[in-house]
């Protein structure tokens, strides 16, 4: 199932309706031996702009795969959803596109976009610690680590605020 294109019944956020859209399966809990089966997928869009890390499926390849026109695999738009919402296999992703996807996704993970606000947190990368084949776990741990550091920074700033005589400002200590 991994690296297969499928139709997925995605819920529309504005009205709760369903849109059948193509996705690329990049993870399957069923293949991981779990009893509650979710899938991990990237959006495939024929109307989005292409980003640095996205993969283009040219018009001819798209038609050969069963897609209506040139499409873009949105490498940075990864979601988890229930396998029950899959609505028909489209095709297997060709080897050349698998390779390009893997290279661009690895490049995306190895080169996170850090805003000026986050630079001062000095968050170390976990790229050298985790095994190469476990990219999704690596991304989760990196984001969790960044969130944990941000939480600690906010807590420290709040404690400093309280120590400076602002006890009566109506704020309470968020963490103990």
Closest by alpha carbon to 80, among 150, 145, 139? 139
Query: Full-prediction pTM beyond 0.75?
Result: no
Residues 105 and 119 in one domain: no
Residue 164's DSSP bridge partners are none
Residue 115 or residue 46, greater confidence: 46
CATH code where residue 55 lies? 2.30.30.110
Domains in the chain, number? 2
Distance of alpha carbon 169 from alpha carbon 176, whole angstroms: 19
Residues 20 and 93 in one domain: yes
Is residue 138 a part of any domain in this protein? yes
Domain boundary (111, 137, 158) is at 111
Enter the DSSP assignment of 135. H
* Long-range contacts, stretch 143-147, CB < 8 angstroms, 24+ apart: 146/118, 146/121
Residues 103 and 158 in one domain: no
Residues 74 and 133 in one domain: no
Is residue 37 a part of any domain in this protein? yes
- Which pLDDT does position 176 carry in this prediction? 43
Distance of alpha carbon 98 from alpha carbon 101, whole angstroms: 5
Domain, as residue range, for 8: 1-111
- Whether the per-residue pLDDT at 16 is higher than 60: the answer is yes
Residue 41's DSSP bridge partners are 25, 79
Closest by alpha carbon to 5, among 43, 56, 55? 43
* Orientation of helix 135-163 relative to helix 95-110, angle to 10°: 20
From residue 175, alpha-carbon distances to 17, 87, 151, 158, 172 in Å are 40, 45, 10, 10, 9
Residues 139 and 152 in one domain: yes
The full DSSP string for 108-143 is: HHHS----HHHHTT-PPP-TTTS-TT-HHHHHHHHH
Domain boundary (93, 111, 129) is at 111
Mean pLDDT of the chain: 78
- Which pLDDT does position 129 carry in this prediction? 46
Q: Above pLDDT 70, what percent of the chain? A: 70
């Amino acid at each position: 199932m991994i690296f297969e294109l499928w139709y997925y019944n995605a819920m529309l956020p504005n009205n709760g309706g369903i849109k059948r859209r193509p996705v690329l399966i990049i993870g399957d809990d069923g293949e991981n031996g779990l009893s509650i089966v979710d899938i991990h997928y990237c959006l495939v869009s024929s109307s989005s702009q292409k980003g640095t890390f996205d993969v283009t499926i040219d018009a001819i390849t798209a038609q050969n795969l069963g897609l209506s026109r040139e499409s873009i695999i949105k490498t940075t738009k990864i979601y988890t959803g229930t396998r029950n919402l899959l609505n028909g296999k489209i095709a297997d992703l060709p080897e050349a596109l698998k390779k390009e996807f893997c290279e661009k996704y690895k490049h995306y993970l190895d080169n996170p976009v850090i805003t000026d606000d986050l630079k001062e947190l000095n968050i170390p990368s976990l790229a050298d610690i985790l095994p190469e084949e476990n990219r999704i776990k690596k991304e989760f741990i990196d984001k969790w680590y960044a969130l944990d550091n941000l939480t600690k920074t906010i807590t420290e700033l709040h404690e400093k605020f309280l120590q400076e005589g602002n006890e009566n400002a109506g704020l309470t200590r968020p963490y103990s």
